[in-house]
Structures are given as structure tokens and as C-alpha cells.
Structure 1
């Protein structure tokens, strides 16, 4: 199939493969040519219409089709399935949720916080179970996450995190002393000391391109109709207006009893979503494959993901083909929630990522960066993700994952399916279900606040390096970012 996939690739496919290493790898390996499916070009009727072709929509379609095979389900995607965050992320299938357990406890109570934590941990295993059962080969390997604590301030925070997790009794975090880290990892400390680390077993390494494209094929086999290159213009109860982008110029309406909006950061371009979601760009790099002896020195095992305790987040994984896939925040927010391919390329951030990778793991040496990409993630005003459905209007919404969506989308799909089918389950009683976040402020307040937040996190790291004390800036910003 490899030669055929490459031979049949068209200009659109070539553009899609440039969206991320993950999508490029699908084409390069001959696994998927990324040719767009047919557009919808005429009025149509379905029981369910899902807006967006990422993991939220696909997991919802999967759950509904499994529960009731008689349902007529359509997915409408402006580009191709997996073009957005679902095909660009860091490949962490983790139990992370945008709001901390302590924050959830303050808003919803202890039992609700425990239930949410338990659901997130169980979701990691659920993704592994379903992908294995459906034959989705996505490099799923449950190796956990290593969070390095490179300064004394970070080590103090790490110990507090482990203690806090013990209070809720769900997450099984382990604190690794510097001696343990020194024996196992070739990672540098920032205080001329070997770092400590926290190990969280509830995370799996995944190839997100293989996951989202594989899931799309599975839901098609279950009878779900996926229309790509089909732009949604607007929606209301029972109706979704669209325009075909296949060159025909066709427009039309999907009539549906139930409509789910699952566009995450890209939804900011739609008037009905614009102030519900703030799009912030996260950027990534991938290196060339590294030799096994280099990985032995580095100490990151297959299946493991990693980060550290800095405030301006970085994240990475060892890919199945022995690359570093490494990303982080730092790109600025653009006025009016503007989305642009140019925003996916920021030389300053890419240079910072490559330098940071070398600082963390000196053994990476002068390894060549082969891919640079990015995309917007979605942030709700209170950093509280949601899976919501209004049975009176038949309209639902899910998102606000703040970059923690690779696993949370699965939970969203199962939760939305239960809500849409009128079921009262443990999932429909979770604290994120039907949560309504406040709207983001209008410009210029949104622009100022978002960019001050990004700058503030960078300043918080600098403050801690200088004072060797917990950052006052981070403490001030903490309540605004879900902590």
C-alpha cells in the first residue's frame, strides 16, 4: 500500500501532511494518503449531526453507533478528520483535566472531585481497550508520565502534589528522590543538583494521527457518514447550514434531531462559539530518530511521556520510531481570536523548544529537528472543560480541554452519548457534565488578559530562578488557570 498511497497523493493531501509530524508520518509510511472524503453537496436528513471531525465527534459517533446501530449519524468536517488538534497534539493519553482536583472540590465538592478524577484515570484504560478491540494500531503504550522537578522550589511543589493526590485517593503518584532519578535518567538540574521527579502511571504514549484516522475508519464501518471538505456556516435547533469546499460551491442544510458542536479551538472562528472558547497556539518539534544507546543514556522508555514543573508548560514523548516529539506553550494570542496557518510557525518558540530539549537531555546532542508544527487549543473562561447537551433544543457542545483532550475526548463522547440517549449514568452525573462556563471578555480585554497570562507564566519561571522561592506571579495567576 505504501507506493500506492504516495502515488495517489494530491495537492490537498500534501498540504494536510504538513500540518504535523503525525499526519506526515501517515503518508510517508504509506498508511494513509490523507485524501479527503466526499463533501456533502445537497440537503440531507440525519438523526445526529456532529460539527467537527476530531476525536470528540468521532468518539461520540462511535458511542452512539455502538449503543444504537439504527441511528443515522453524520460528521461534517471543514478539512479532513484529524486536521485539527486531534492530529497535532503531543500524544499524551493522560488522566489530566484542565481543573485540578482541589479546584473541582472547591466548586463541586469532594465526592464530585473524586468522581471526576476516577473517570479520567479510567478513561486512559478505556482508550487502550477500545483501540485494541477495534484494531486501531496507534502505538498505544501505557508507560506513565515522568514530571521532573529541577529546582528546590519545584521539588517542594512535587512533594505537595503527591500529598494532595493521596488526599483524594485516586491518582497513584510516586515521588522519586534525586538518587532514583540520577540512576535512571540523563536529565540536567537547574540548581546544580540531580532533579527529583513525580511519576504518574495514568498516561499512555499514543500516535495521535494513527488514533484519529483509525477511529474515523472504524466509525465509517459502523455506518456513520463522514463528509470532509464541508464547512459548517451556522446551526440552530434541528438544522446545520453548510457549504461544500470541493469546488462545486454547493450549499445546503442538514436537518437533524440532535446537533453536537465539537470544534475545540477552531470553534473560535464561528460566531456562535467565538467568546466561549479562547484559542491559544501550542507548538511542537520532532527530531530525527535517535539510536538506542542514546535513549539508554536519556532513560525515557517506550510508552513514557515527560514534562517538568516549570510554569510555562513543556511536554514530550519518545515516539515508537525513537524520535523526540516535544512541545510547549509560549506563542501569543492573536487579536479577535484570529486563526491563521502563519500562527502555527513561530521561530522564536521553535528555537526555545529545541534549546529547552537540549538543556533537559544533553544526550540529545545536535540531533536534527525534522518537523515543526503547531495548532490552537481551546480554553474556557474558567478553564473548565465540559460535555453538555440540552434535551429541549437537541443541541450539545463539548470542549475546553486546554490541551488535555486526547483522552478527555473519549470521556466526552461517552458522556454525550448517554445524555443524547436520555440515560442517567455515572458519566452524566460527573461535575463537568452540562457545566456552563462564562464568556470570555470582548476585545481588547481578551487580548490583554490572554497575552499577560502567557507572559506571566514565563516571568514566574524567571522569578523562581532568581529568588529560589515559590513565584508570587504564579500564585496570583493560579486561580485564573484552574488551580
Structure 2
């Protein structure tokens, strides 16, 4: 048992790369060796092998959210497609949906091409409705899917096929893969290096400005500076209110016998979630563990990203209680690992890619937990913008200037605490009584769903 430890790193040999050794220069410097930074570096060298690309990482490649998430590679977008259509138009919303789906397939293609072993399995996602309000939300979601259909939409699943107590409805969408996130990060870093990218680790960026990144080990001069720090952006001067870091907690069980998996009817390695407001996200790992995350939101006053905080203990206990509620047959399976990670949220809850040709400053992030797939799309988009390559990705609605910043404290802290408390209250009432509340709809409106 390794409680309060991250499952994903327990069986991975971390490749340690040397830090920066004094001042240097590059054509392009990328701050952050998570998925966004690594995908951007990878595609930059693929598009133009003559570019000198340097990635700077405070820890090691994949140390942050890229190696701490629930292992979903999903085409889901943080905001509903109807919200995108009302803001940018139907064609732009459909283009963004198609790009998200293509990102999932592109990751699978690169994994195969670069021979990255990361437990990739694209079996889609099962959406569950466990009470009447959840069924209403699932039906509304399916109706929206039909309204903005671009093919390969969700299909119904017979609730009797799954041993989930009280399950009223379910549907399957094919646009998601389960994977081992840390192995993807390690493999992607290795692929980037093979293609000529230089990565320096244990090198903390202290300041980012046009043409320069100041680190604790020297200054880097570059024509283009890419900030790929996502939820950790607030650690840089002047960035504290640009991206709000929220904490999500995750737990994993010991390996589960095949007979139990067959008993509960889990289809392959499809991921799962229900339609509660504070929904859980689940996956079956390649070594037959159940990984479950979500069911809470953590936020530390002052927008400081924090993992393994004292509040995690209560959130982990909520997740542990969730397992027998969803799958009684798994009630006695021991928990082996518990950890947490941070995700980045913009003020409008929409992810964004920015590139200023005049200053050479670029960034991407605000994925609200959907960054495994969206970071690939962001990396391809940034690489195309920086190299001047014409690409449909350059014209997607998320490409543009930085958005509005969050308000000063204590307003974000109070807002997150209130939303968290209210969503928990709504979910509890719905699960106990099966009754819906108007508050649920208003909270989903705040989140852009």
C-alpha cells in the first residue's frame, strides 16, 4: 500500500535531465515540460527541423498536471457546444468539436509512430444517469449532441448491462481513450528529444517577458517565448489572476480480478462518469485497477497551486465512499494510492491559444481538466502559428488574445467556496430524493455547460 502517493509514477523510471548551465539563447524557448510544452516542441521540430527549441522545466517532464490526472484522453470541451455556437457561431462550434475529436486520434497516431507505451486504449466513454435529474441532464446532452451532429455521435447503453444500483439511463460516446498519463509524458519527452528538442530540468522560470526568460540558473534569450505553465502560471510575476488553479483529487484501487470486472459489466477499458454536477471520472487501468477522481473542487486562497493539502484527506474519503455506491461488488477492494493535481481555469471557463507576432509571446491553457487531448491541439496550433504554417487549427475560435483576468482576492476564493458548497448540496439532495432544483441549472450555466 502506498497511500498518499501518485499511482502513475510508482512504476515509471523518471529520466532526469541536467539543468540549465548559465545564460544561453534559442530560437524558441518553452516554459513548462507538461503536455502543452512537449507537444508544442515536438510539432515545432516536425514542421521546421532547423528551429532551435529549448524547453525549461522546474521539476521533471510531466511532473505537474500532465502526470497527475485521471488518465482520460477525451474529445470533450470545457464548455458546451451550444455555448460555443451562441458565442462564435455554429460553424466555429462544429469546427472546434471536430478538432477535439481529431486530437484524440492524433495522439493515438503519434503514440504508435513514436512507439510510446502508455496503456493507450480507445474504448470511448460511458455516461451514466443515476437519478431522475441526472437522466434529464443526460437527455438534454444527447439532444444537443443530435443538434450539433457531425457523425459518430453517442449511442444508448442498456442500463441492465451495468451493475450500477438504480441506473436509469446510459449512453456511449467513442471519442475518448484511457491511458497512463505519466508514461505518455515520459514517452513524449523522449520523442521530442529524439527530434532535436533540448529539455533542461530543475530550472525554475522566474520571469517571462518578450525575448527573454529569466531562470534561477541563467537567462535565456529567444525570439519566441511560449508560456506552457497552465495552472502554475500564477507562480510567475504578473500572472497571478490570469489562470485560476483548482485542485482535483484521485484515488486508485489494488488490481481487481477479471471476474469482478465481468460481474459489473465494465465494457473493455471505456472511461465512465455520471451526470452529477460534481461528477466522478473513472477508468480501468491496463493492470486492472479502478481509478476514480473528481467529486470535489479545491482552491487555495491567493491562487497558489497546491497538491497533497490537508483538505485532500476529506475529498479522498468522499471518493472512497463513492466506489461501493456505484459498484457494490467492489466494496472490499483496498485503496492503494491517493493523490491530487491542479487544473487551470480562465475567467470565462474557455481554453485559449495566444500568439503575438509582434512580441513573440505565446501561451495556451485553461483546459478545465480536458487538457490531455486539448494540449495536443494547442501544441499543433502554436507550432503552426509560430512557424507561419497555414493550418485549419489557426482559425479555430479559441485562438486569440488573452481573456479577461480573474478579480482580486477574496472574490475568487469566496466564489469557488460558494459554488463548491452549492454543487455538493444539489448533488446530495438529488441522490437522496431524486428531486431536481432550479439551482442545478443555474450552476451549470455559470460553468458554461
TM-score (structure 1 length as normaliser): 0.90
- Aligned partner of 1:211 in structure 2 is 184
- 8 Å CA contact 2:38–2:192 kept in 1: the answer is yes
**1:351-383: per-residue Cα shift (whole Å, max 9, x none)?**
110111111011112111110000111111100
- 8 Å CA contact 2:306–2:342 kept in 1: the answer is no
Provide the secondary structure at the position in 1 that maps to 2:332.
Answer: coil
Provide the secondary structure at the position in 2 that maps to 1:265.
Answer: helix
Provide the secondary structure at the position in 2 that maps to 1:389.
Answer: strand
Q: Which moved more, 1:468-477 or 1:89-98?
A: 468-477
- 8 Å CA contact 2:4–2:308 kept in 1: the answer is no
Distance (whole Å) between structure 1 residues aligned to residue 57 and residue 287 of structure 2: 30
Distance (whole Å) between structure 2 residues aligned to residue 383 and residue 171 of structure 1: 26
Q: Which moved more, 1:155-164 or 1:282-291?
A: 155-164
- 8 Å CA contact 1:331–1:346 kept in 2: the answer is no
Which gives a bigger RCO, structure 1 or 2 (Cα 8 Å, sep 6+)? 2
Q: How does 1:228-307 map to 2 (within 5 A)?
A: 228-243=201-216, 251-307=217-273
Distance (whole Å) between structure 1 residues aligned to residue 30 and residue 374 of structure 2: 17
**1:30-82: per-residue Cα shift (whole Å, max 9, x none)?**
xx1x2531000210110010000100000000100001111110110000000
C-alpha displacement of 1:467 = 5.7
Q: How does 1:68-467 map to 2 (within 5 A)?
A: 68-170=48-150, 172-176=152-156, 180-182=158-160, 184-189=161-166, 194-243=167-216, 251-343=217-309, 346-465=312-431
Do structure 1's residue 25 and structure 2's residue 8 form an aligned pair?
Answer: no
Distance (whole Å) between structure 2 residues aligned to residue 428 and residue 71 of structure 1: 20
C-alpha displacement of 1:253 = 0.7
- Aligned partner of 1:8 in structure 2 is none
- 8 Å CA contact 1:117–1:171 kept in 2: the answer is no
Moved over 4 A (4+): none
Distance (whole Å) between structure 2 residues aligned to residue 396 and residue 136 of structure 1: 28
C-alpha displacement of 1:162 = 1.2
- 8 Å CA contact 2:121–2:178 kept in 1: the answer is yes
Distance (whole Å) between structure 2 residues aligned to residue 320 and residue 344 of structure 1: 30
Distance (whole Å) between structure 2 residues aligned to residue 420 and residue 159 of structure 1: 42
Q: CA RMSD in A?
A: 1.7
- 8 Å CA contact 1:345–1:372 kept in 2: the answer is no
C-alpha displacement of 1:421 = 1.2
**1:246-288: per-residue Cα shift (whole Å, max 9, x none)?**
xxxxx32100110100111111222232101111100000100
- 8 Å CA contact 1:19–1:88 kept in 2: the answer is no
Provide the secondary structure at the position in 2 that maps to 1:212.
Answer: helix
Provide the secondary structure at the position in 1 that maps to 2:418.
Answer: helix
- Aligned partner of 1:7 in structure 2 is none
Q: How does 1:32-71 map to 2 (within 5 A)?
A: 32=13, 34-71=14-51
1:344/1:286 Cα in 2 relative to 1: closer, same or farther (>3 Å)? farther
- 8 Å CA contact 1:461–1:471 kept in 2: the answer is no
Distance (whole Å) between structure 2 residues aligned to residue 344 and residue 19 of structure 1: 14
C-alpha displacement of 1:18 = 7.2
1:116/1:435 Cα in 2 relative to 1: closer, same or farther (>3 Å)? farther
Distance (whole Å) between structure 2 residues aligned to residue 132 and residue 344 of structure 1: 40
1:297/1:379 Cα in 2 relative to 1: closer, same or farther (>3 Å)? same
- 8 Å CA contact 1:386–1:433 kept in 2: the answer is yes
Flag structure 1 segments of 5+ consecutive residues without an equivalent.
1-14, 27-31, 244-250
1:35/1:283 Cα in 2 relative to 1: closer, same or farther (>3 Å)? same
Distance (whole Å) between structure 1 residues aligned to residue 119 and residue 332 of structure 2: 26
Flag structure 2 segments of 5+ consecutive residues without an equivalent.
none
Provide the secondary structure at the position in 2 that maps to 1:315.
Answer: strand
Provide the secondary structure at the position in 2 that maps to 1:335.
Answer: coil
C-alpha displacement of 1:19 = 5.7
- 8 Å CA contact 2:230–2:243 kept in 1: the answer is yes
C-alpha displacement of 1:464 = 2.8
